[in-house]
Amino acid sequence: MAGKQFHLVERAAERLRQEGLIEAAALASAAPPAPMAAESAEGPTALQDPDALTRVADPAPSGLALPGLVPSGLSPSGLAPPGLAPSGLVPPGPVPPERTPRPPPIEAVTLERAGLVSWSSTRSRVSEEIRLLQSQLLRSAFAPADGRQTPLNLVMVTSARPGEGKSFAALNIAAGIARQQDREVLLVDADGKQHNLGEKLGLAGAPGLLDLIADPGLTPNDLVVASALPKLSVLPVGRPIEQSAELFATRQMASVIAGLGRRYADRIVILDAPPCLSSSDPSTLAPLVGQVVFVVQAEQTQREEVEAGLDLVQSCPTLMLLLNKVKMKTTHAFGAYATPYA
């Protein structure tokens, strides 16, 4: 009886091997089953049943093994060896990091702390100068392209050296256009250095421009942050990642910047870029934008510094110089009215 039982099991195992359900190595190590008990009063045993061979040859349920056999890739205890997955299963890949939630809208008080000029009923010199500049930007931004490939609504704000007020200018130009209610404005923080515009606006560590480059599955709409000004939104620079500086010189960066101009063709997109003489990013971005606002600090920036900075962004077709931090010596100057005029 024992020999017949072993013969049936051997045939079942051979059929399983042929169907690829177990490996030959497992068959070689399988031990003969213990002799089965004689026919009981309730009926024949499993191996004496005429249909037993068919049932034994059927694949075992998931997670179960046939008696006396160890599934390929598993240890006798039923656990996979370290670093291996059960046969037929694909080991799980690395779990992607959870995306940082979108920050809440930027409040008015935060905008003011970042340097936003208060536009009250009184016309200040600063607000009037900003109005003049934004009018020039708008005229060029939505003029006929004349066959040019560069989106004219893409505007980069930069300077020669740090501390000349480029972020102050970028924020107030963007807010000034948004306050007119005619056009929407997207302000992009493209300066990866510390104490950038995004940090001043409370967006440090928020996903943004760098994340768009690193993750093609993201879209700008996933990352743009609203503000207290309904027509003004901000795209942070993004979380620092490995080789962040090299990303600005990649084709993907050029594709993302050009994509912003096309996606938001009905609005002004203002890039707050690093200073020209402290980063290579402005010279990389200059061919991608339609206009450059070059901020110069009055009585501080040297002429050779201005010329060197302009040389680095001359690939942009339209350059504008903005003189900042001018010391006024008379009240009878442009925009210096104490009360609104009729």
Q: Which residues pair with 156 in a beta bridge?
A: 271, 292
pLDDT (0 to 100) of residue 80: 45
pLDDT (0 to 100) of residue 178: 94
Rounded to whole angstroms, how far apart are CA atoms 159 and 169?
10
Rounded to whole angstroms, how far apart are CA atoms 291 and 154?
7
Higher pLDDT, 216 or 264: 264
- pLDDT at residue 158 above 80? yes
Q: Which residues pair with 233 in a beta bridge?
A: 186, 226
pLDDT tens-digit readout, 10-64: 776 677 666 655 444 444 444 454 444 444 444 444 444 444 434 444 444 444 4
pLDDT tens-digit readout, 179-211: 988 889 999 999 988 778 999 999 988 999 988
Higher pLDDT, 243 or 305: 305
- pLDDT at residue 319 above 90? yes
How does the average pLDDT of the chain come out, rounded? 75
pLDDT-wise least confident of 138-147, 202-211, 329-338:
329-338
pLDDT-wise least confident of 14-28, 173-187, 285-299, 319-333:
14-28
pLDDT (0 to 100) of residue 146: 64
Region 296-300: mean pLDDT is 93
Quickly state the pLDDT bin for 215 (edges 50, 70, 90). confident
Region 290-307: mean pLDDT is 95
In 3D space, the residue among 322, 17, 60, 35 whose CA is nearest the CA of residue 167 turns out to be 322
Write out the two tokens for 275: 């200073």
pLDDT-wise least confident of 61-70, 286-295, 324-333:
61-70
Q: From edge to edge, which strands make up the β-sheet containing 185-189? A: 225-226, 232-235, 185-189, 268-272, 154-159, 291-297, 319-324
pLDDT (0 to 100) of residue 97: 45
Q: Which residues pair with 324 in a beta bridge?
A: 297
Region 88-99: mean pLDDT is 45
The DSSP line for 191-212 is: --SSS-HHHHTT-TT---HHHH
- pLDDT at residue 228 above 80? yes
Rounded to whole angstroms, how far apart are CA atoms 274 and 157?
8
pLDDT tens-digit readout, 96-109: 445 667 889 999 99
Residue 272 φ/ψ, nearest 5 degrees: -90, 100
- pLDDT at residue 169 above 80? yes
Quickly state the pLDDT bin for 142 (edges 50, 70, 90). confident
pLDDT (0 to 100) of residue 298: 92
